[in-house]
Amino acid sequence: MPDPSAPASPSTSPLVVAIDDGYASYDQEEALLGAVGARFALRPVHGDADAAVQAVRDATVVLVRESPLPRRAIEAMARGRAVVRYGIGVDNIDQQAARERRIFVANVPDYGIDEVSSQAVALLLALNRRLLLHDGEVRAGRWSAGVLQPMFRLRGRALGLVGYGRIARMTHAKLAGFGFGRVLVHDPRAALPPGAESVDLDTLCRQADVISLHAPLNEATRRMIDARRLALMQPHALLVNTARGGLVDLDALHAALAAGRLGGAGLDVFDPEPPDPLHPLFALTNIVVTNHIGWYSEEAMRDLQRKAAEEVVRVLGGEPPRHWLNPW
């Protein structure tokens, strides 16, 4: 039986290569691509950029999750027509190199919206009600009605949303029933609903009691929540990040939480991933952390794989992808 991880023999039929594994099945990709005469190959590189260069050399289209596709990998795609990200963020793909070679870069921004917004709400509520702290007390046999850490009512307070795309809008909708008195949004390009206030990021950091991050990661947003902006936040404020780990300076966040200058943080994403388990942040009791699982439900995973494969089919049919990110 041929090794599916080995480069395919030369052929006139398009080759679609997935350089990250992890899904239980690739039946949707195989069916959709097979229907248009394309071959599908799974060649996991496990985050190794050098391995990615080798894996994509004969690919017409590359499907990628977290592994990097730097310039040298893009330039190795002698037959390359597109790179499609299984997901939303594309900070692991050199879009400029792809543009120079007229290789489409596309993502799937319209999956997992319900799931990630629910994760943001779940992290916020776990922080606000100190669920993990009290769970640990009960499990340890300690039963007390005394105050372990202060809790504050959400009603009447200010919600801050950094970015106002699909996920932020659904997060806003899900939190509407909690009775926030103000909704502050930092997203200069977004059209806001009635009642939401457009503010700059420093103002949002100063005035919001709850801050939820929904911005993409790029050079303008990297470490946007740094020591200076953390110092602007109120000492009871809660910070939630379900977007990209690189938006937050983790060391500065630890310093603020450890000093009591911030009420708590809920994190589903880190930079790097996985994070160092010995980072002092993880010794704190005013955090809730999850392992970049906010995107997941069985339905969302199937949606993601199908929509990524549909983008590939569009490109192979001579169309631009629906979610084309590096236009020329």
Q: Any idea which residues carry the catalytic annotation?
A: 244, 273, 292
Q: Which helix (H) or strand (E) holds 201?
A: helix 201-207
Is the CA virtual torsion 237, 125, 252, 113 positive or negative?
A: negative
Distance CA 290, CA 6 (A): 35
Q: Read off the tokens for 156.
A: 């009447």
On whether the CB atoms of residues 77 and 55 are closer than 8 A, the answer is no
Distance CA 16, CA 8 (A): 10
Using alpha carbons, select from 190, 167, 163 the residue that is nearest to residue 113.
Answer: 167
First to last CA, the chain: 42
Question: β-pairing, 210-213 with 104-106?
Answer: unpaired
Tell me how far CA of residue 215 lies from CA of 21, 123, 158, 182, 186, in angstroms.
26, 17, 19, 20, 9
Determine the angle formed by the axes of helices 113-128 and 131-139, rounding to 10 degrees.
Answer: 60
Residue 184 φ/ψ, nearest 5 degrees: -105, 135
